[in-house]
């Protein structure tokens, strides 16, 4: 199985396991990904998810170019492939719970797109990054280009897309393409996941939704955001947080 989902102590791991092909995504993998994401998101035991490779090395080389080249001249296949990739990326980007990309090797093309759709990117020193459709005469999707621009700004996004060059982990950290550079990316991703899992999942999910609204242009409160703020005071997490504070103990959310 090239994609799998495991659960360990409120942390889901979505694992890409195709190391012989540098974890390149086939059409079947793109189609499978949204269902696994949804499984993690609807599971009440899951607080946060880590997206990672099954072993150190390539995070993902992106789309399987051999398969892509074989099917590219078939309009039906292209439409089906585009729809599958779009659904996978949108499902990941809109996941209501936090997602951490654990990157220990090449993160290129669609693989880099997957990392952009996560909330955090933690990379090992050996990681390399690139978005390379310009090497194939192709065009990156608007959805994924927006994710890139939101993260690194227009100038850095243009350099990445216009040159199609790979950049190392140090440069990725400097431009904001990754959030953390760690010798042990697995340990760093796990530590962040544990921190997130320990606080109120209601607060985390509401904050993620609020940030998404802002990134999509909302600048003022509406009835829904005002209600989110107000209703939280009557929720069980607020009651537990206050009780724990007064008792000088750790809250159990």
Question: Which two three-digit tokens encode residue 222?
Answer: 């509406």
The two three-digit tokens of residue 248, written as one number: 């000088």
The mean predicted confidence, pLDDT, of the chain is 96
Give the distance from CA 58 to its chain's centroid.
16
The CA distance from 180 to 57, in Å, is 18
Angle between helices 27-42 and 75-93 (to 10 degrees): 30
DSSP 8-state class, residue 137: T
User: Which residues are bridge partners to 106 per DSSP?
Assistant: 128
What is the distance between the terminal CA atoms of the chain, rounded to a whole angstrom? 34
Q: Taking the model in full, what pTM does it have?
A: 0.96
Instruction: For the chain, list the domains and their CATH numbers.
Output: 3-196 (3.90.226.10), 200-247 (1.10.12.10)
pLDDT, mean of residues 186-201:
98
Quick one: 227 exposed, middle or buried, by C-beta within 10 A (0-12, 13-18, 19+)?
Answer: exposed
Q: How far apart are the C-alpha atoms of 211 and 97, rounded to whole Å?
A: 13
Q: What is the pLDDT of residue 73?
A: 83
pLDDT at 233: 96
Tokens representing 62? 């992106």
Instruction: Name the burial class of residue 251, with classes exposed (0-12), middle (13-18) and buried (19+) by CB atoms within 10 angstroms of its CB.
Output: middle
Give the residue-averaged pLDDT of 185-208: 97
Q: Given this model, what pLDDT does residue 71 score?
A: 74
């Amino acid at each position: 199985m090239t994609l799998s989902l495991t659960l360990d102590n409120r942390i889901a791991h979505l694992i890409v396991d195709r190391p012989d092909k540098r974890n390149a995504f086939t059409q079947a993998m793109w189609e499978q990904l949204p269902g696994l994401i949804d499984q993690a998101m609807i599971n009440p035991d899951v607080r946060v998810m880590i997206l990672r490779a099954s072993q150190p090395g390539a995070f993902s080389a992106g789309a399987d170019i051999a398969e892509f080249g074989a099917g590219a001249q078939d309009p039906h296949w292209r439409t089906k492939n585009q729809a599958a990739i779009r659904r996978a990326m949108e499902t990941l980007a809109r996941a209501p719970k936090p997602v951490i990309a654990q990157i220990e090797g090449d993160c290129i093309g669609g693989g880099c797109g997957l990392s952009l759709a996560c909330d955090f990117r933690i990379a090992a020193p050996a990681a390399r990054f690139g978005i390379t459709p310009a090497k194939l005469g192709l065009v990156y999707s608007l959805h994924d280009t927006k994710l890139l621009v939101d993260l690194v700004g227009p100038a850095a996004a243009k350099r990445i897309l216009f040159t199609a060059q790979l950049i190392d982990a140090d440069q990725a950290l400097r431009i904001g393409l990754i959030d953390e550079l760690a010798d042990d990316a697995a340990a760093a991703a796990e530590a962040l996941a544990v921190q997130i899992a320990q606080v109120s999942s209601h607060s985390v999910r509401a904050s993620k939704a609020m940030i998404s609204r802002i990134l999509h242009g909302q600048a003022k409160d509406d009835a829904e955001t005002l209600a989110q703020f107000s209703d939280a005071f009557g929720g069980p997490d607020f009651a537990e947080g206050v009780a724990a504070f007064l008792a000088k103990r750790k809250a159990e959310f």
